Chain A
Amino acid sequence: MSELQHIMTIDERREFVQKAAKSSLRKREFTSKFFLGMMATALVIAFIPLFSILQSVISKGAHYLTWGYLSKPQQTPFAFDLANIGGFSNAITGTILVDGLAVLIAVPIAVLLAVSLYESDGRVMHFLRVTTEVMIGLPSILLGIFIFTFVVTPMGYRMTALAGSLALAILMVPLIAIASEAALRDVPDTLKEAALALGARKSRVMLRVILPYAAPRMVTAVMLSTSRAVGETAPVLFVIGASSLTSWNPMSPVTTLPTMMFTYLQGSNPYIIKSLWGMALILMIIVFFFNLLARLVVARSSKRGL
């Protein structure tokens, strides 16, 4: 059969392999227990701060979930009535307005960008991809400065909810686009070929086959980036102005929960400082509901196709 020098008979080799397997099994049992232990420890370490944050936000913030705080806008208390801080309604509507608009602006642009990154492979696209990746690493305050310079200033220093949405959209687009492109690349070639072999145009393959398949992961990307945007202070702080009025007008100055928290933190009224817990809880609830909504959208769209 071969010119190899035989050093073992088949039986010897079989015994050898089985012995090795047994001892490696013992070793593996140990390593698997060891890693299980490590994982449990890591889980505990990760969850202790997470749970304690959650626990203190809920315990210290829950009593702010009253109709009064939710429906009234903020109010500057008089010196003799420091507890009369009004509510958060202006910041709640401001958050929903700024972030909702940001999602509406970012998603179509990000999806188009992801599709173009996916479809092309020229030098221009390579450049675009690198740029997109670099943008993810930019400190978010830069986006605020950028929007201030190129949007707020030309409009005569007019601070608006829309300016904040634009800043957050710039933050979200690269995050969504890169994750979406990865989701598109994971669509099996066999599905694309099946569609093409039926006479589908490339655009139809994209709309009817590739996008529906990638949709759940793309929505997850939107969810994650929105959660990130909702909590941002720096990009919006200088461009949305500040307003204690509850407004749904994108062209008016607004306040968001994180920016209001930021400003409140600089005051010294203990009632105001304490109310930060309530605002944090409301922010968490907004993010939670947004994610829930996104999941529902996915569950429906992935069943029906786009």
Chain B
Amino acid sequence: MNLLVATDRSFDSCLKCTACSSSCPVAAVLPDFPGPKQCGPDGERLRLKSRDFLDVALKYCTGCKRCEVACPSDVQISDIIAQAKVKYGEDKFRLREFLLSHTDLMGALTRGSADLVNKLTGTSVVKFAMDKTLGIDRRRQFPAYARQSFRSWYKQVEEKQHIYARQISYFHGCYVNFNAPELGQDLVTVLNAMDIGVKLLAKEKCCGVPLVANGFHKKARSHAEFNTRACHTALKQGSECIVSTSSSCAHMLREDYPAMLGQSEQQVHEHIIFITRFLSHEFQLGNKPEMKPVRLKVGYHSPCHLIRSRGVLHTLNILREIPGLELHQLDSNCCGIAGTYGFKKENYTTSQEIGQPLFDQIEAGEFDYIVTDCETCKMQIEMSTSLQVLHPVTLLAMGMSRGK
């Protein structure tokens, strides 16, 4: 099969304006990274001649998509780069990429041994070993695994969900299920208070973001098919829509699945919504949970993928509805972790340098908490600053519990 044929031809519209390159957080700190223009639309034209023109520097792209936000020509720069790595690169199985990207598998394997795994990945011996053998930077903190998964907690409240007039389905994703079931619980609390019942999909698989980022495209595609089918069934069984509390999962499900699977399932993908978009719409219609003043000063960090999917406004809208909240919007600055990217040893420094202006602003702000929609941004900020990071939904739930 001739690989040298363009699959995504959006690069043809590139005007060579370099707006993308001047907004790339990696290019700003890493001189070896030629930037989105050269790696994306420029490079693709060369790679169509021969795979010999593939630059190794492509691996430094975090996939943050800030370049795509800047582009006036709708060039899918970050997708072009991600695909190029797979299409023209040499197929090599790498254990580290496998471990980091198979988040659902890793979560399932640790079930029942969460405490042990947490302790292990926290110890310096294990960290040292992972650093040396896998190239996972030892300075990284791993997200802790929860003792009870969200799905198994949910069984307690499942029955009750039928009493609400309206039903929606919740795509919890790997992070909520294995690492942060509290966020899922908060969501159930908030939605129930708005007279909406929460269902889960019969089964769900990792949305595929880490798989794509690490070159497991085939696998990602099969996950996309599986999840699309599950969403389809949920809609048929009366859910109004499917919500996600992760800005990255939501972006993948809503914006990238159609590109992977074609337009045939458009109906389904259109009904997948990031939670704050859903909530802000409900709030506007007057369906709001009751809250009492929280008296907190928070800084809001906008995640790259939420910017790309034009969702920041909705999060700001719902945060503004929390009484007593002193809300500060932090400068738009990538935190640097970019999913699994920052876990890789060779990226650690770049990752931290990208985020440094953000960390400085956070430390100087005298905030009680930082708020953000993305779980990996949360990991990065908690590791790199002294502050704790909350999800907007958690903050809403806090407002409600103070009200009770």
The answer to whether A and B assemble together is no
* B contact set with A: CB distance below 8 Å: none
Measuring CB to CB, which residues of chain A are less than 8 angstroms from any residue of chain B? Answer: none
